[in-house]
A and B are shown apart, each in its own frame.
Chain A
């Protein structure tokens, strides 16, 4: 849009130069004088009591500086992001008396180098009493199953149940022409960020600690580390250097952070703890496996009247962010459709496996796979075009989900239509040669969560902006750049508001000592939330500048002012204005030399229980399925995404492509295979991520711009929602190509061949 100078314009990212020259510093690159290396001993058993830990031999090894165990050296505090709901906090940094998954940390050592640390680990003797274990949530819920956690709120391994309901579902089902019920299974995958979990802690004495760590949520680490260590929050300084990816897997306090801190406190030296890739698999987190049942009632014309969703998630050994995935999966199950009667029951079930947590899409990919698959089944049953049935049931701007959400802007109609037009949907759907097919998936996603599990008294985002006498601008934000480009978006917003060039903006970030508290990078919240906080901060500055300009220029009537292109001028008389720097200097002088600072924050009002705004999109994929091998090739992929006002188009496109390919891997190849709780493919050789030759050669991103009143300059989510529709979209395209429907993820060549075989047998029987 032409009225903007920086918003929506092609700008280079502010972290670009350091990233392409190798100068960008990540936690893993930090080396401090005298630094020790810490390593953790992990459980080989999925479920066991710890009877004794003997560390004496390890302590005697030359080069070992400290050995710690849970009961002896930690406070044993249970922590997690659930500070507001203590019954959900179930995890400690090191096991206290029991281990619940293979890979759970038990003890740790600090030594002069990694080899000595490894050797020390092998000298620690742990005596276990093996307990019976359970690996499947449906088994774990049965009476008599091994109980993984005791506690008044846990029954039959269910740690959390979610229910929401509106309308009258049972009555509506009675009115429907048809009701169908389908079941689905979704498998586990991992975040697979390329930078492993790692931290460097330096205890400064006097109860003060500095930690460098690879995290999406510096503020959570600060508060929770204080809790785990018994230190004051303000005395803990969390520094987030560049982060090599997170995708939801780095938004909690992890053992490496606590262990590095304790080892540093014990030894008085800086300590680095870095997980190996194998440890990231075994001691990390994953996306929730889910058993889904969907019952949907609809009319002959395709109108969906009612839906009932039931969900059992395999949460692994601890809650992590599971209760939110559970909640959001039931919530996104409705998107982007206007379902008048809905009932959802979800159960978060403990199993003896690595904990599952937030991962890009946050319960959405599972929900949309089931929802999109079933909508296509309904369309087929009615002989309708799957795109038409989606258009018919779509949400509209102003949609209200009773008790949960208010949707203001909503471009789903335009998204579906543009995706259809761009792909030639009408000419292709059902008409492509055998072996080729086209499919659609649709989604809506949040722009930040209205969730305060951490129980922070602070606002969701904070910002401070300082204009210096030469017109350069320092921007202090606590939001977390983890690769998604949010620091650049923040700089663009300030540059646009103040009318200064991007090169005059300096962003101060990633340090809890200097930056305002912010809940961090999750739930696609940063553009909207920190963006609004920055706008508030800039408005305070502009107010001062406009008053100063008025005093300097002395117009005879009251005029409105604007700041743009390095000038402050009368809005209606752009030719009458002053140089930005001149006004800044005068404003500072007029205020007795006080610094020119604006402070802002963002807290949503009256926006329901989930998010201040929702993005929407439609995804179309054209596939070719080789009936001999079962291999699926993506020929053309098209996304039409409504992210409100685009702030950085290159950034949005990059996010969409990355989200799609993550979804492609989820659908076709990634799978964390376990046997008796043991991960069988904990490496980048055996865990099949998409590689460059696998991704679609033709990827089209269409920007459907709407204006979101709650978003900064009208912007909303861009980085996460597109992870959600891919599995359903690809499954639908495969069905179009070869007539087999896979409801059990991932869609591997073996499953396709098996389904084809069954189909042939059925057809032969007639």
Chain B
């Protein structure tokens, strides 16, 4: 009944046998054992399980594992480059973008997707870009600030590189 699934997770190729019913979040958390992405509702309504598929944010509770065949999946665990944190992570740390941290892995990935599409978003765009992700602790204010700050940091880094 299981099928072989090949995909990339945080840059690593994977080949795993999965049941057709298994969702992507189940595969990542229960079978592969990366517990960064969280389950808040298991119904596509809170965004705690947000991961990137080919750079775009999706609720991994609402995607079947087999649907990522041949695709590249990224979780919060893949955000930092070794010891070097991603500017989003640095900004969340400096600007207070988290409290309990349960929504944070999803928020960071939603933010990354947003910045992938729009490297210099306005506050308004950030607010709307996060509409799929619930946070009950922060009131979003500092999450929005953190993402804005990260975009500035990335612009600066990019500028320095070129």
Chain A contact residues, CB within 8 Å of chain B: 12-13, 15-26, 28-29, 31, 191-196, 242-245, 247, 276-277, 482-485, 650-651, 653-654, 657-662, 683-685, 689-693, 695, 697, 699
Quick check: which of B1-9, B33-41, B154-162 contacts chain A, the rest being far away?
Answer: B33-41
Whether A662 pairs with B104 at a CB distance below 8 angstroms is: no
Whether A15 pairs with B101 at a CB distance below 8 angstroms is: yes
Given contacts A26-B102, A194-B134, A245-B137, are A20 and B108 in contact (CB under 8 A)?
yes
Given contacts A194-B46, A657-B138, A691-B131, are A29 and B99 in contact (CB under 8 A)?
no
Given contacts A483-B99, A684-B43, A692-B131, are A697 and B136 in contact (CB under 8 A)?
no
Is B96's CB within 8 Å of the partner chain A?
yes
Q: Hey, what's the 0/1 contact readout for B63-102 against A, CB within 8 Å counting as 1? A: 0000000000001110110000100010011111111111
Contacts of B130 in A (CB 8 A): 691-693
Whether A699 pairs with B101 at a CB distance below 8 angstroms is: no
Is B16's CB within 8 Å of the partner chain A?
no
Q: Hey, what's the 0/1 contact readout for B103-135 against A, CB within 8 Å counting as 1? A: 111001000000000000001101111110111
Is B42's CB within 8 Å of the partner chain A?
yes
Tell me which of B40, B99, B105, B127 contacts A196 (CB under 8 A): B40
Whether B35 pairs with A484 at a CB distance below 8 angstroms is: no
Is B48's CB within 8 Å of the partner chain A?
yes
CA–CA, A21 and B144, complex, Å: 18
B42, B104, B124: most-surrounded residue (chain A CB, <10 A): B104
CA–CA, A482 and B137, complex, Å: 10
CA–CA, A493 and B55, complex, Å: 42
Contacts of B101 in A (CB 8 A): 15, 18-20, 24, 242, 244, 483
Whether B38 pairs with A28 at a CB distance below 8 angstroms is: yes
Whether B139 pairs with A12 at a CB distance below 8 angstroms is: no
Contacts of A653 in B (CB 8 A): 96, 142
Whether B123 pairs with A661 at a CB distance below 8 angstroms is: no
Contacts of B98 in A (CB 8 A): 16, 19-20
CA–CA, A296 and B76, complex, Å: 55
CA–CA, A651 and B134, complex, Å: 20
Whether B136 pairs with A21 at a CB distance below 8 angstroms is: no
Additional A-B contact list (8), CB under 8 Å, known A15-B101, A244-B101: A20-B97, A22-B79, A192-B134, A244-B38, A244-B103, A661-B141, A692-B126, A692-B144
Q: Separation in Å of the A701 CB from the closest CB of chain B?
A: 9
Whether A654 pairs with B142 at a CB distance below 8 angstroms is: yes
Tell me which of B89, B108, B135, B139 contacts A194 (CB under 8 A): B135
Whether B144 pairs with A243 at a CB distance below 8 angstroms is: no
CA–CA, A667 and B97, complex, Å: 24
CA–CA, A23 and B103, complex, Å: 13
6 contacts between A and B (CB under 8 A): A22-B77, A242-B101, A277-B40, A482-B100, A657-B141, A684-B40
Whether B100 pairs with A193 at a CB distance below 8 angstroms is: yes
Interface of A: prevailing SS: loop
Minimum CB distance partner of A485 in chain B: B99
Q: Separation in Å of the A469 CB from the closest CB of chain B?
A: 29
Contacts of B96 in A (CB 8 A): 13, 650-651, 653-654
Minimum CB distance partner of B40 in chain A: A194
Contacts of A697 in B (CB 8 A): 123-124, 127
Given contacts A194-B103, A684-B40, are A22 and B34 in contact (CB under 8 A)?
yes
CA–CA, A693 and B45, complex, Å: 15
CA–CA, A18 and B89, complex, Å: 10
Contacts of A25 in B (CB 8 A): 35
Contacts of A29 in B (CB 8 A): 29, 35
Whether A245 pairs with B102 at a CB distance below 8 angstroms is: yes
Contacts of B80 in A (CB 8 A): 21
Whether A692 pairs with B142 at a CB distance below 8 angstroms is: no
Contacts of B141 in A (CB 8 A): 654, 657, 661, 695, 699
Contacts of A483 in B (CB 8 A): 99-102, 137
Q: Separation in Å of the A131 CB from the closest CB of chain B?
A: 33
Q: Separation in Å of the B19 CB from the closest CB of chain A?
A: 10
Contacts of B30 in A (CB 8 A): 31
Whether A22 pairs with B76 at a CB distance below 8 angstroms is: yes
Whether A693 pairs with B127 at a CB distance below 8 angstroms is: yes
Given contacts A194-B100, A245-B102, A683-B43, are A20 and B139 in contact (CB under 8 A)?
no
Contacts of B38 in A (CB 8 A): 26, 28, 194-195, 244
Contacts of B94 in A (CB 8 A): 12
Whether B45 pairs with A685 at a CB distance below 8 angstroms is: yes
Whether A194 pairs with B140 at a CB distance below 8 angstroms is: no
Whether B123 pairs with A245 at a CB distance below 8 angstroms is: no
Whether B40 pairs with A693 at a CB distance below 8 angstroms is: no
CA–CA, A204 and B84, complex, Å: 41
Q: Separation in Å of the B102 CB from the closest CB of chain A?
A: 3
Whether B102 pairs with A194 at a CB distance below 8 angstroms is: yes
Within 8 A of A (CB), among B16-69: 29-30, 33-43, 45-46, 48
Contacts of B92 in A (CB 8 A): 16, 20
B42, B48, B137: most-surrounded residue (chain A CB, <10 A): B137
Contacts of A23 in B (CB 8 A): 36
Contacts of B126 in A (CB 8 A): 692
A24, A196, A485, A659: most-surrounded residue (chain B CB, <10 A): A24
CA–CA, A23 and B30, complex, Å: 15
Whether B89 pairs with A20 at a CB distance below 8 angstroms is: yes
Shortest 7 CB-CB distances between A and B: which pairs? A22-B36, A483-B100, A244-B102, A661-B139, A19-B101, A22-B76, A684-B45
Tell me which of B33, B40, B77, B93 contacts A195 (CB under 8 A): B40
Given contacts A22-B75, A194-B46, A692-B128, are A245 and B41 in contact (CB under 8 A)?
no
Is B143's CB within 8 Å of the partner chain A?
yes
Contacts of A18 in B (CB 8 A): 101
Whether A22 pairs with B35 at a CB distance below 8 angstroms is: yes
Whether B138 pairs with A654 at a CB distance below 8 angstroms is: yes
CA–CA, A28 and B37, complex, Å: 11
Given contacts A20-B92, A661-B140, are A277 and B41 in contact (CB under 8 A)?
yes
CA–CA, A258 and B136, complex, Å: 27
Whether A195 pairs with B99 at a CB distance below 8 angstroms is: no
Q: Separation in Å of the A148 CB from the closest CB of chain B?
A: 31
Whether B127 pairs with A692 at a CB distance below 8 angstroms is: yes
Given contacts A22-B34, A194-B134, are A245 and B100 in contact (CB under 8 A)?
yes
Whether B134 pairs with A684 at a CB distance below 8 angstroms is: yes
Whether B136 pairs with A247 at a CB distance below 8 angstroms is: yes
Given contacts A26-B102, A692-B133, are A12 and B93 in contact (CB under 8 A)?
yes
Whether B40 pairs with A658 at a CB distance below 8 angstroms is: no
Q: Separation in Å of the A689 CB from the closest CB of chain B?
A: 6
Given contacts A21-B76, A483-B101, A657-B138, are A683 and B41 in contact (CB under 8 A)?
yes
Whether A20 pairs with B99 at a CB distance below 8 angstroms is: no
Whether A658 pairs with B139 at a CB distance below 8 angstroms is: yes
Contacts of B79 in A (CB 8 A): 21-22
Minimum CB distance partner of A30 in chain B: B35
Contacts of A484 in B (CB 8 A): 99
Contacts of B124 in A (CB 8 A): 697
Minimum CB distance partner of B102 in chain A: A244
Q: Separation in Å of the B14 CB from the closest CB of chain A?
A: 17
Q: Separation in Å of the A672 CB from the closest CB of chain B?
A: 15
CA–CA, A242 and B101, complex, Å: 8
CA–CA, A469 and B98, complex, Å: 34
Q: Separation in Å of the B148 CB from the closest CB of chain A?
A: 12
Minimum CB distance partner of A198 in chain B: B39
Q: Separation in Å of the A114 CB from the closest CB of chain B?
A: 10
Given contacts A12-B93, A20-B92, A657-B141, are A245 and B136 in contact (CB under 8 A)?
yes
Whether A685 pairs with B136 at a CB distance below 8 angstroms is: no
Whether B93 pairs with A657 at a CB distance below 8 angstroms is: no
CA–CA, A650 and B134, complex, Å: 21
CA–CA, A24 and B37, complex, Å: 11
Given contacts A21-B89, A194-B102, A653-B142, are A277 and B128 in contact (CB under 8 A)?
no
CA–CA, A12 and B89, complex, Å: 12
CA–CA, A742 and B81, complex, Å: 53
Contacts of A654 in B (CB 8 A): 96, 99, 137-139, 141-142
CA–CA, A658 and B138, complex, Å: 4
Q: Separation in Å of the A375 CB from the closest CB of chain B?
A: 26
